[in-house]
Amino acid sequence: MTIVNRTQPLALETLDYEGHQIAQIEAHVNEQGTIVGAPGLKDEHLPVFDVAVGSGRSRTWAISG
């Protein structure tokens, strides 16, 4: 199952990405199923898009660095 996060464009805009950059990042996410490796995405912004998977003590991060 894939859960589409429709808040990504707003988050990218808030982080001062321009329209064409947001479009490229969204295209990467749609094609690759991950924001990791998206063109133009700054490494320091990657944690903003991380999500916790699981619950309680078994919780892990979907993106690890």
Q: Considering the entire predicted model, what is its pTM?
A: 0.76
Does residue 1 lie in a domain region? Answer: no
Name the residue among 22, 19, 20 with its Cα closest to residue 41. Answer: 22
Give, rounded to a whole angstrom, the gap between the first and last alpha carbons of the chain: 24
Domain count, the chain: 1
| 3-state class (DSSP) for residue 2 | coil
Cα–Cα distance list, 30 to 10, 14, 15, 54, 63 (Å): 16, 20, 20, 23, 17
Q: What does each of the 65 residues of the chain score in pLDDT, given as a tens digit?
A: 556 668 889 999 999 999 999 999 999 988 888 888 999 999 999 888 887 555 556 556 666 54
Does residue 43 lie in a domain region? Answer: yes
Range of the domain at 32: 8-61
Does residue 42 lie in a domain region? Answer: yes
Does residue 45 lie in a domain region? Answer: yes
